[in-house]
């Protein structure tokens, strides 16, 4: 199954993004990573985030993939506060699990943030430009082309080696 995961950090962000990418790469050596983008914090005042998307194949069930992401977050010091938007060491969000739609199972996949935020859609559109969003029927490149210039202006590509 093709998996797309967003990575984000605004606490010791370069170290944590590299560590998360290494965790993914150590389990999935064929993982591909988008460019890294700096973006402002959304929903709260805080330092800028670094964001990117990883793409890899996994034979695991969606529940197992989600558990693995949480284990990596926990290993990098992620603190979970229910309902709070706050700074974080690492945020690993499952964006796509193949072309599956899991809302009826209580799982936000395809992640709704794909269609809302430039820091999610732009890296996804660069790594999967011709793939089709399972609900809209549009490619990620088409969806990115429709994103407002104001959203695009919030992103700055960062030269960060992973």
The pLDDT tens digits of the residues spanning 111-131 come to 999 999 999 999 999 999 999
Q: Would you say domain 2-158 falls under CATH 3.30.70.560? A: yes
Checking if the pLDDT of 82 tops 60, the result is: no
| ∠ Cα 14 49 7 (to 5°) | 70
Contacts by 72-79 with C-beta closer than 8 Å and gap 24+?
A: 72/20, 72/23, 72/24, 75/23, 76/16, 76/19, 76/20, 76/23
Distance (Å) of CA 145 to CA 6, 109, 118, 138? 20, 22, 11, 11
The pTM score is 0.91
Averaged pLDDT of the chain:
91
Model confidence pLDDT, tens digit, residues 23-75: 999 999 999 999 999 998 777 778 889 999 999 999 999 999 999 999 998 88
Tell me the three state secondary structure of residue 54: strand
Give the number of other CB atoms < 10 A from CB of residue 13.
23
Residue 108 is predicted with a pLDDT of 96
Q: Domain ranges in the chain?
A: 2-158
């Amino acid at each position: 199954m093709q998996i797309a995961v967003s990575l984000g950090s605004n606490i010791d962000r370069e170290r944590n993004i590299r560590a998360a990418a290494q965790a993914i790469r150590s389990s999935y050596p064929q993982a591909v990573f988008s460019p890294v983008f700096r973006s402002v914090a959304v929903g709260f005042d805080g330092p800028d985030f670094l964001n990117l998307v990883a793409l890899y194949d996994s034979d695991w069930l969606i529940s197992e993939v989600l558990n693995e992401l949480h284990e990596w977050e926990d290993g990098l010091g992620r603190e979970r506060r229910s309902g709070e938007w706050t700074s974080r060491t690492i945020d690993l969000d499952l964006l796509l699990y193949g072309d599956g739609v899991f809302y009826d199972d209580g799982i936000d996949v395809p992640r709704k943030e794909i269609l809302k935020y430039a820091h999610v859609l732009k890296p996804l559109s660069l790594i999967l430009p011709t793939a089709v969003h399972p609900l809209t029927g549009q490619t990620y490149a088409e969806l990115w082309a429709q994103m407002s210039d104001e959203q695009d202006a919030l992103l700055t590509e960062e030269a960060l080696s992973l």
